[in-house]
Amino acid sequence: MKIAFIPIDNRPVCYTLPQIICGIDESMEFFIPPRELLGDLTKIAKIEELYTWLKNLPEPDSIVMSLDTLTYGGLIPSRRCPETLEQLQERISRLKSIIKSKNAKIYAVSSIMRISNNNFNEEEKPYWAEYGKKIFEYSYNIDKYGKPETDVPANILKDYLETRKRNFEINKIFLEWQKEGLFETLVFSKDDCAEFGLNVQEALKLEQLGGFVKTGADEIPLSLLSASISLNLKICPIFLEPKYKNLVSNYEDISVEKSVKSQIELAGCEVTDENDADILLYVNNFRMHQGEIVMKQDTEMFNGVFKTLQKPYMIADVRFANGADNNFVKELFKNKLEDNYFYGYSAWNTTANTLGSLICGAKYKFYARSTNSYSKTAFNKLQITRFLDDWAYQSNVRQKLKEPNLFMLRLNMQEYEKAVSEILGTKVNVKYSYPWNRLFEVEIGLN
């Protein structure tokens, strides 16, 4: 099987993670653009070169593509880029011609522009540093109460609303492509979504027009990567806090239970009961509210006993956003993670991020084992990456660092490398880096 993949940007979770996952199936041919063609925190993707790469691609069976990358130059540039609607229309008309020339199933995602509720402009236009919260409040109030009052300067509000309108019009064009049959699947992603807002209004309008809207962002290309495999995997969710599965996670607008169900279905899998399941999905969900260590938001940690059945299983650790539950990992490591049964662990960022990436890795392992093309080395590489990033770094070492410092990072990670090496029964040889020169993400480079 041949699969091509055009990521959102060059972050490790967007660029290297899908490569590791596809490596679990040794028979898979995986095509991805050179990393230098993709955008990062401060630069946009080389769109024309990506078009050339896509045009010259050996005929794949499926192509998973971020339309934000191919339209604006990436997810972050979609909020910043200065091009007009007419300029973008001309650009994507050429993309349409390339897509039509490919005899492949196209799985695509396009974002509904987010509205962050803070004054950090690292990923937004410069004026967000002063007016971000006020623009969020304006958006929230106009949707919930129909009240457009705000003291945001008129020129700034005008620019913001015009950018939103431009992106929404582009999404309507993509929806027309979907109706013409260009896409096998088209997902409109709701990133960092509150209960009310202009983005919520846009999502509703797209749904009314026949579009498919999904809460999430960075994990959706991985969910589409899952969907591109023809395997009806039956998954049974098991919530470790069943009384609280109706609570809503940070940065999302649906319950944990609905998030789990929608992620399973988007991956081309089926929700089922325990007796009929191919694989169990244990969800370490939260009580009362989701915690977040880096934001100093505490929550009640796991305090039970974790024992698995003699059946394939995977674990979504979502008690905290952006990091693992230390108590749960300690309890998990009392178990022997047998390769025949253990299909993965994840605690990456939001609940949707965790679920989408986890299910993708598990589905690839299940598929590879069924076709005798399974690489245990690649699966171990995936688990080393998740444990060292989600648990060791995000929940522990990151809290000791005030700025990116590779020497201190390597020093503090050593005890966790040893623990991961012992639990997985494999040598851990890591080279760390900060690809965007910030603490939020670290790259776990494995030899």
Span 405-447, pLDDT tens digits: 999 999 999 999 999 999 999 999 999 999 999 999 999 998 7
Max Cα separation, the chain? Answer: 63
- State the pLDDT at residue 217: 86
**Stated pTM of the model:** 0.93
The encoded tokens of residue 443 equal 């790259």
Query: For 35-137, where are the E strands, in sequence order?
Result: 62-66, 105-112
The encoded tokens of residue 334 equal 């009392």
Which spans in 334-429 are helix H?
351-370, 376-386, 406-424
CA distance 183 to 166: 22
The encoded tokens of residue 27 equal 């028979």
Taking the mean position of all CA atoms in its chain, how far away is CA 15? 11
Query: For 15-60, where are the E strands, in sequence order?
Result: 29-31
CB-based contacts of 379, cutoff 8 Å, min separation 6: 24, 339, 344, 361, 365
- State the pLDDT at residue 193: 63
Taking the mean position of all CA atoms in its chain, how far away is CA 147? 33
Span 174-227, pLDDT tens digits: 999 999 999 999 999 987 667 789 999 999 999 999 999 998 889 999 999 999
CB-based contacts of 162, cutoff 8 Å, min separation 6: none
Residues of the chain with pLDDT under 70: 192-193
Residue located via tokens 């339209």: 71
- State the pLDDT at residue 387: 98
Is residue 34 within a helix (H) or strand (E), and if so which, with residue range? none
